[in-house]
Amino acid sequence: MGGYKDQNGDVHFIPHFQDASDFSDGDTLACVTKDGTSYFLGLSVNLYKIVIFVTVLTKYCNRFARILKKQTIMSSSKNTFSSKLGVIAATVGSAVGLGTVWRFPNEVHDNGGSVFLIAYLICVLLMGIPVMLAEFSLGRGSRADSVGSFKKMTPNKKWWIVGATAVLASYIILSFYIVVSGWTLEYFWLSLTGALTAGHEGVSSPEFYSSIMDEALFTAWNPVFWTFIMIVINMLVLIKGVEKGIERMANVLMPLLFVILVMLCFVSLTLPGAIDGVEFFLKPDWDKMNPSVLISAVGQAFFSLSLGMGILITYSSYYPKKTKLGRTSVIVSSLVFLVAILMGLIIFPAMKSFGIEGQTKGASLIFVTLPQIFEAMHGAYIWSLLFFFPLVVAALTSTVSLGEVVIAFLHKTFGMKRKKACVITLLPMFALSAVSSLSLSVWSEYTFFGMTWFDFLDYVTANLMLPIVAILICVYVGHIIPKSFLEKEMTNNGSMKSLILPTLIFLIRYVSPLLVAAVLLNKFFEFV
């Protein structure tokens, strides 16, 4: 039997503990035995409502996943995605990361609003999808990891170095990206415990939330602890394998991510004065269009779609043979673009509504400005919780995909058992991620080219290693291997037609590598 204890201390019994419609905010939940003895749980009714909501939402997401999973694509390989949903969800999950969540709003804010959005969309079409298709073709066609795919296609040449560079880049990125993932997990915990919405009247100053951010992100050992928790979670998922680990996680979490983002978007758009934020986000100011905006848009498209990391090659090696690569690339790119749109419609209307421009750079946008906005909203606790949960989801799906690149390499190249490959990949992360985290606090005085170790790794991988890998992949697929290979993969061995195949080949051969090269040269000259 269930029940609750009201604010006066009186106990009320409820035969079926199903809803909280009769409760008050000050009531406390209780478990009641047959003899009338009550064991109070100490849960506030607000928290109970959230638990019920999340439970019901998860139930329907699972039901949705089971329905779609009936469309199973049979495969003889054990390491293969079992369904169409698994293919899309896992690939989208690998691309939708923290860069899409907080890098995109920052780029939009600094580059003329929707002008940047339009430029970003063009870059996705001219560069993102073609490079993605090139990586898909290599992975699915070779059935190998990032290194093995090049060895199979050109066994007597050194092109495998391109794949090895991608594996190395993924591992380096994982060493600092998982630190950021730990930040999101900590803030989800702070939201859950109410530390971000502790009953302050009105909107607290940015200094209040800056102090919380400094303690959470830049103290010595606190962020290290949460990073370690994220490493353990990643290990638990990756050890389960492709179908039972990565695919199962993505099938549940990605639909849930989109549901929550749509909810937050609806709430933001109904705020007073939200139209001003929508206008800033969607009404183009063509006077702000310039070459720097285009270069920034290329960089964002490149970053948000996980190009050049070996992730797309690795994941596509798990694709069933009947997977339509062209359709998959369009769906994945569209969903990533949709997440970016939703984030813009969440952040900018809310900022304009409450007059909180705040800070839009990186972590400050997420951990300072947005908590201010949530505090100004009715139901601040709920909205803070609902925002930081999908942030954790985005971080987890991205770190899992980065780890899978290295694990697949060890498994397929050296014949390691998956559990051993997981341990060898993630165990050193406890030390490497700690170094990256501490470089932002107690070791911040040690710099490399004027940057902390964390920032140095970020700069080298994002601006040098990944663009070089993407350019070489385009050259490899477009000029080195036979043209028939791409045609074969795009048409599933001639079983379907691809009307845009000549255009895609042209983009892969010439347009995409030139766009990436423009970003690479720009970043190189900035560096020197």
Q: Would you call 100 helix, strand, or coil by DSSP? A: helix
Same domain, 210 and 271: yes
* Structural domain contains residue 442: yes
* Structural domain contains residue 299: yes
**Inter-CA distances, 290 with 94, 108, 119, 296, Å:** 31, 14, 10, 10
Same domain, 427 and 363: yes
* Structural domain contains residue 63: no
pLDDT score recorded for residue 371: 82
Same domain, 20 and 112: no
Same domain, 18 and 84: no
Could you give the CA distance from residue 51 to residue 56 in angstroms, rounded to a whole number?
9
Is 4 in contact with 23 (CB distance < 8 Å)?
yes
Same domain, 13 and 92: no
Same domain, 203 and 111: yes
pLDDT score recorded for residue 247: 74
* Residue ranges, the chain, pLDDT below 50: 1-2, 4, 13-23, 25-47, 64-65, 67-78, 201
Per the structure, the complete domain to which residue 33 belongs is given by 2-45
Assign residue 87 the CATH number of its domain. Answer: 1.20.1740
* Structural domain contains residue 51: no
Element (H, E) at 38: strand 38-44
Q: Domain total for the chain?
A: 2
Tokens found for residue 276 = 């001003």
pLDDT score recorded for residue 390: 82
Same domain, 135 and 192: yes
pLDDT score recorded for residue 35: 47
pLDDT score recorded for residue 57: 55
Tokens found for residue 302 = 């490149």
* Structural domain contains residue 275: yes
Q: What does pTM read for this prediction?
A: 0.80
* Structural domain contains residue 434: yes
Same domain, 271 and 183: yes
Same domain, 353 and 248: yes
* Structural domain contains residue 262: yes
**Inter-CA distances, 396 with 120, 124, 184, 204, 433, Å:** 25, 24, 10, 30, 15
Q: Nearest CA to 455 among 180, 267, 230, 187? A: 180
Same domain, 234 and 365: yes
Could you give the CA distance from residue 488 to residue 508 in angstroms, rounded to a whole number?
16
Same domain, 437 and 503: yes
What is the full DSSP assignment across 426-451?
HTTHHHHHHHHHHTTTTTTT--BTTB
**Inter-CA distances, 445 with 59, 175, 216, 442, Å:** 49, 20, 19, 8
Same domain, 150 and 25: no
* Structural domain contains residue 54: no
